[in-house]
Structure 1
Amino acid sequence: MAYWGYLHAVFFQRVFVGWRDFMNLLSEIKGRFLPALAGLSGDVAALLDMIRPAQDAKFGDFQANFAMPLAKQLGRAPRDVAAEVIGRLQIADLCEVPEIAGPGFINLRVRTDVLASRLSQIAFDDRLGVAAVAQPRNVVVDFSSPNVAKPMHVGHLRSTVIGDSICRTLRFAGHSVTSDNHIGDWGTQFGMIIYGYRHFRDESSWQASAVGELARLYKLVNQLSDYHASVALLPTMQQNLEDSRQKLKQLQDGPDDERKKKLLTTMRKGLAAAESELQSAQEKVDRIRQSPALLAAAEAHPDIARRAREETAKLHAGDAENTALWNQFMPVCLAALQQIYTRLKIGFDLTLGESWFNPFLAGVVESLQQQGLATLSEGALCVFLEGSTAPFIVRKTDGAYTYATTDLATIQYRRDQLAAQEVLYVVDSRQSEHFQQLFATARLWGCGDMSLKHVSFGTVMGSDGRPYKTRAGDTVGLESLLDEAILRARRIVDENDDRREQPLLSAEERGRVAEIVGLGAVKY
């Protein structure tokens, strides 16, 4: 019986006739209770609102929880009130005999023949009985959005799959949906890659795999930049850490009071964070110094971070040589991304990257200044928002624009050109503060009529407990992950089919099943 009860719950809660019919059935049940409650209360509507889907299948499909408050009004026992209501209730054609549980809950289970009838009605309905929304909205879903100059890794997978699922769900519901892959094709990584291409390019590697070589160059320039920054910061970090240890010791040796325990906890946490940061910086320095080739490169390029930023600024300013390199990089980068999307069977209505919005960025900044929203601060142009400790920078001190500027231009385009009523950003939770500032600025800027939402999700972590980063060099390539998933699925398919006296599947069929299962396992 428990097994059949479980099946009933699965059919009713997961496979039943869709949300529309589910809600219709709830409305129908409430309608049956209306005459049964007449004359027992002056506010029958409030009692009907207490009829809800059961939270646990063992209590049936629906549960009426009004007997207890109604009993207080009538000065009677709740179970007696529940019994009287059931005696008045005409519901035998829809539900099995109602049950009274606990202090007076009324449990309702929909009859099996009713379920069968409703299921048969939708058996040949492509929409499974789910009606399209009465008021469809124009929704833009911004997802995936990788940096094009780097191979996609497993960390990019969640946004891509979640965003595609949201698009499919919203379209099925009847909304007008535009999927947009706002690729990173114009940011600081291109300054790093341009600098790396000019100074560190391995021509044979470039010819063999352009995207692989660009990823290597990006990682190398980042490593060298981090090395110089860490070398400069280490003395200060070490001194700050020693000062913190001394303060902690003084507090430990001092008199006890009510605040001491909390202060000790706070200082120990701060000390642990400082130790971790110092260790990370030291590891970056040691990694370079342990490699003669990397150390020689670092010593030959002491101001690499600044010069890479200058390359970015030159690209944004329209420098002919940097633009030519960018045009050389882009086709191979986009082809590599498309190969992944094709395998995952994920497509986009638009792929408007950061570069596409570059012509509009100066206008965005000018508009912000005219409205008095952006002001200069230490050479950078910033929006200062109430409740935010950090400024929202829209133009750096070197004149380069930021992701914030591009995101504002994107919102403006989606409002004016796509007539978007709602924009969903499917990005991991680390970007929450950025989106809070972005949305707040957009509202002040005049885009308050749009609904802007950050659909956040957890970050994919590496074995060290830290987020995957291409520049760290330890990421799992998405192409390799998909290959491995299909290979493992194929082993299982082969093992299962080979156990039969007479295998049922051809090699081609096994391969097709393995691809469906492998890719499906990775995606969902």
Structure 2
Amino acid sequence: MSLPFNVAAHLSTSLRAAADQAGLAGRGFDPEVRVADPAHGDFQANGALAFAKREKLNPRALAQQVVDQLGALQASFDITLAGPGFINFRLKPAALLAWLQTHASEDQLRAGASAAHAGQTWVVDYSSPNTAKQMHVGHLRSAVIGEAICRLLAFTGAKVIRDNHLGDWGTQFGKLIYGYKRWVDEAALLSEPIEELERVYKLGHAATPDDSPELEEARRELVKLQSGDPQNVALWKKFSDVSLAAFQQIYDRLGIVFDHNLGESFYNDKVERIYRELAETGLAEVSEGALVVFHPEHPRYAKQPFLIRKADGASNYASTDLATALYRVEHFAADGIVVVTDFRQGDHFEQLFLTAKKWFAAKGYRVPELHHVTFGAVTGEDGKALKTRDGGVIKLKALLDEAEERAYALVSAKSPDLPEAERREIARAVGVGSVQYADLAQNRSSNYVFAWDKMLALDGNTAPYLLYAVTRVRSIFRKADLDPAAPPTTGASAPESAQELTLARKLVQFADAIQVAGTQLRPHFLCLYLFELAGAYSAFYAADKVIVDDPSVRARRLLLCHRTLLTLETGLRLLGLRTLERM
């Protein structure tokens, strides 16, 4: 009776086989299995309706033909027909118990989920700040969403390469070097390096207005850098090193470690090949002195050129981004590439991916899956861009500091008897986790409102609510003096009460949440699942005492507690959050 991790996928395979046995082989029957309304079952197959309409058959009769071939599933499911051909599946209590007993550790959950991307290599490009500038609130979403996507892809079997495509080249470095040579404060550079670089850049920018001799001097500094002048190259490397060190302090707090920090500068010597091959394949043409690509089959880009090389011969984002895509295919052998940026870059990446796919196909290169993962803006409660009180951009470091301080005040009010060091540790996990989760719980395509009171609330779909749910499960094992990693669940009977059954069914649906979030690259589906799981556990906890005298009942309730703890902690880690023993 043991079932695989992904019950929906198992049902899909069984339904296709049943359709073949019913004489539908080779006719494209798609079961369309999805999580059902609990009133009807655990899973529902809707494919009979579309197939019957296409084949001009009676959908209910067709569905019955398929059900008649599902005898092997009868041991695990109650199978019913509803309406014009919906096939409903409800797991039997014994099957629920068998699934829970089989999937007993994070390694076992991962093994079950790994089929989705097994053997594949995915490069995820996210965060990507500009060097010599502080990270601000606008960098939050790319970093948080990108990291969650990396973890979801890795959990579902992919080899994931994290690449931080830094903005580390361009005209601004001429002004920065100009300002640095005149106004740098060496003591400030040691204590607050990136803040000092930002200060001297602003001075350099202000001192080099258009058409001024000072601007010409800044341009000469840039030309010296681009020509390999040792002094300017050494300064540029210094800017990169101090920037990366400052960025890593933020990444450490968010649980992010990049495999590579290959910025725009890395691809400078690789763009000539792009121009040559796009011309050779007939994809690029010269228009008004510039090298461009048109996509005549596309309604928007038939007459809107994709600029590959400027008329003055200079490269741009398009040329370096194409070089980046090629490098990832050739050097990393990428089967998939994900780029995480805000929605305003949508047109650029749509044209980029159209161009790359045609170019790779024409040259016989590997053509990977290409995904531009976009996201909306972070706004204040007034619906406007999130700003400081004086109208400035909120620095990401300051935002995370404030989150921790607010969380510390809440923890201290709720648990004043805990040692201060523990309260600080809890505040770090809750504060930063609240910021991460508030972002991830939203559909990434939408803007979201940044509201401290809402994101730090102990109720609702928030990090504190879920982190507290974890500690509540752990408290059961602690009070019973049991090891939560290996509770005594031998001899557990199948779930019986309404709350036990609801919780067990929700646990089985973890696979579906992972599959949807990982396939669509939308972490909010996993957030919603974890929130619903915590709610099902809360109802179970309120209704059914765990530590009871009957050994089989106690074992099954400890089993449900353990699997809930396992699933919540696994899911929160996939989102990039740290969990706690208590709070």
Interval of TM-score (by shorter of Structure 1 and Structure 2) = 0.5 to 0.7
User: How far 1:29 sits from its partner (Å)?
Assistant: 6.8
Alpha-carbon distance change, 72 to 444 in structure 1, aligned in 2, over 3 angstroms: closer
2:122 aligns with 139
1:277 aligns with none
Match of 1:345 among 231, 255, 265: 255
Q: Could you report, residue by residue, the CA deviation over 1:288-317 in whole angstroms, capped at 9, with x for unpaired residues?
A: xxxxxxxxx587974777765564444223
2:316 aligns with 402
Worse overlay, 313-322 or 62-71: 62-71
2:341 aligns with 427
Question: Do structure 1's residue 475 and structure 2's residue 393 form an aligned pair?
Answer: yes
1:193 aligns with 176
Q: Distance in 2 between matches of 1:300 and 1:45?
A: 68
Q: Could you report, residue by residue, the CA deviation over 1:404-449 in whole angstroms, capped at 9, with x for unpaired residues?
A: 2222222222222222232221222211111122223334443663
User: How far 1:480 sits from its partner (Å)?
Assistant: 1.0
Query: Matched residue of 1:127: which SS?
Result: helix
Match of 2:227 among 306, 317, 338: 317
Alpha-carbon distance change, 329 to 114 in structure 1, aligned in 2, over 3 angstroms: same
Q: Distance in 1 between matches of 2:288 and 2:274?
A: 20
Question: Do structure 1's residue 181 and structure 2's residue 183 form an aligned pair?
Answer: no
Query: Matched residue of 2:356: which SS?
Result: helix
8 Å contact kept, 2:132–2:198: yes
User: How far 1:209 sits from its partner (Å)?
Assistant: 2.7
Q: Could you report, residue by residue, the CA deviation over 1:483-506 in whole angstroms, capped at 9, with x for unpaired residues?
A: 1111111122111113xxxx3x32
AA aligned opposite 2:427: A
8 Å contact kept, 1:60–1:107: yes
1:246 aligns with none
8 Å contact kept, 2:346–2:372: no
8 Å contact kept, 2:386–2:393: yes
Alpha-carbon distance change, 414 to 34 in structure 1, aligned in 2, over 3 angstroms: closer
Q: Could you report, residue by residue, the CA deviation over 1:7-27 in whole angstroms, capped at 9, with x for unpaired residues?
A: xxxxxxxxx977534422454
Match of 1:150 among 133, 155, 159: 133
Q: Looking at CA atoms only, which structure, 1 or 2, has the larger radius of gyration? A: 1
Q: Distance in 2 between matches of 1:221 and 1:469?
A: 25
1:115 aligns with 96
2:351 aligns with 437
Question: Do structure 1's residue 494 and structure 2's residue 420 form an aligned pair?
Answer: no
8 Å contact kept, 2:16–2:31: no
Matches within 5 A, 1:67-466: 93-96=75-78, 98=79, 101-102=82-83, 105-124=86-105, 126-128=107-109, 130-133=112-115, 136-198=119-181, 206=189, 208-219=191-202, 302=212, 311-369=221-279, 373-378=283-288, 380-386=290-296, 387-397=301-311, 399-446=313-360, 449-463=366-380
Q: Could you report, residue by residue, the CA deviation over 1:323-359 in whole angstroms, capped at 9, with x for unpaired residues?
A: 2321332221111111111221211111111222223
Alpha-carbon distance change, 521 to 73 in structure 1, aligned in 2, over 3 angstroms: closer
Alpha-carbon distance change, 187 to 93 in structure 1, aligned in 2, over 3 angstroms: same
Q: Pick the structure with more helix per residue.
A: 1
Q: Distance in 2 between matches of 1:81 and 1:398?
A: 66
Alpha-carbon distance change, 213 to 68 in structure 1, aligned in 2, over 3 angstroms: closer
Alpha-carbon distance change, 488 to 83 in structure 1, aligned in 2, over 3 angstroms: same
8 Å contact kept, 2:144–2:436: yes
Q: Distance in 2 between matches of 1:333 and 1:165?
A: 24
What percent of counterpart residues are identical? Answer: 41
Worse overlay, 357-366 or 148-157: 357-366
Q: Distance in 2 between matches of 1:516 and 1:412?
A: 39
1:20 aligns with 6
Query: Matched residue of 1:456: which SS?
Result: strand
Aligned residues: 423
Alpha-carbon distance change, 17 to 490 in structure 1, aligned in 2, over 3 angstroms: farther
2:42 aligns with 61
8 Å contact kept, 1:51–1:62: no
User: How far 1:156 sits from its partner (Å)?
Assistant: 1.1
Q: Distance in 1 between matches of 2:136 and 2:3?
A: 39
User: How far 1:51 sits from its partner (Å)?
Assistant: 6.8
Structure 2, unpaired ranges of 5+: 438-583
1:519 aligns with 432
8 Å contact kept, 1:375–1:382: yes
Query: Matched residue of 1:427: which SS?
Result: strand
Alpha-carbon distance change, 385 to 51 in structure 1, aligned in 2, over 3 angstroms: closer
8 Å contact kept, 1:426–1:455: yes
1:260 aligns with none
Alpha-carbon distance change, 68 to 343 in structure 1, aligned in 2, over 3 angstroms: closer
Q: Could you report, residue by residue, the CA deviation over 1:182-226 in whole angstroms, capped at 9, with x for unpaired residues?
A: 11111233233224435665667556533113223445666x5xx
1:285 aligns with none
8 Å contact kept, 1:439–1:452: no
8 Å contact kept, 1:159–1:428: yes
AA aligned opposite 1:60: G
8 Å contact kept, 2:131–2:239: no
Query: Matched residue of 1:130: which SS?
Result: helix
User: How far 1:115 sits from its partner (Å)?
Assistant: 0.7
AA aligned opposite 2:421: E
Q: Distance in 2 between matches of 1:75 and 1:300?
A: 73
AA aligned opposite 2:351: Q
AA aligned opposite 2:401: D
User: How far 1:119 sits from its partner (Å)?
Assistant: 0.7
Worse overlay, 312-321 or 510-519: 312-321
Q: Distance in 2 between matches of 1:469 and 1:408?
A: 34
8 Å contact kept, 2:309–2:319: yes
Q: Distance in 1 between matches of 2:354 and 2:431?
A: 42
Structure 1, unpaired ranges of 5+: 1-15, 225-296
8 Å contact kept, 2:113–2:155: no
8 Å contact kept, 1:139–1:176: yes
Q: Distance in 2 between matches of 1:319 and 1:414?
A: 29
Worse overlay, 54-63 or 372-381: 372-381
Alpha-carbon distance change, 518 to 199 in structure 1, aligned in 2, over 3 angstroms: same
Alpha-carbon distance change, 299 to 365 in structure 1, aligned in 2, over 3 angstroms: closer
Match of 1:506 among 419, 438, 450: 419
Alpha-carbon distance change, 47 to 209 in structure 1, aligned in 2, over 3 angstroms: closer
Q: Distance in 2 between matches of 1:371 and 1:68?
A: 42
8 Å contact kept, 2:174–2:220: yes
8 Å contact kept, 1:422–1:452: yes
Q: Distance in 2 between matches of 1:328 and 1:445?
A: 37
Q: Distance in 1 between matches of 2:54 and 2:310?
A: 66
Query: Matched residue of 2:161: which SS?
Result: strand
- State the TM-score, normalizing by the size of structure 2: 0.61
AA aligned opposite 1:152: M
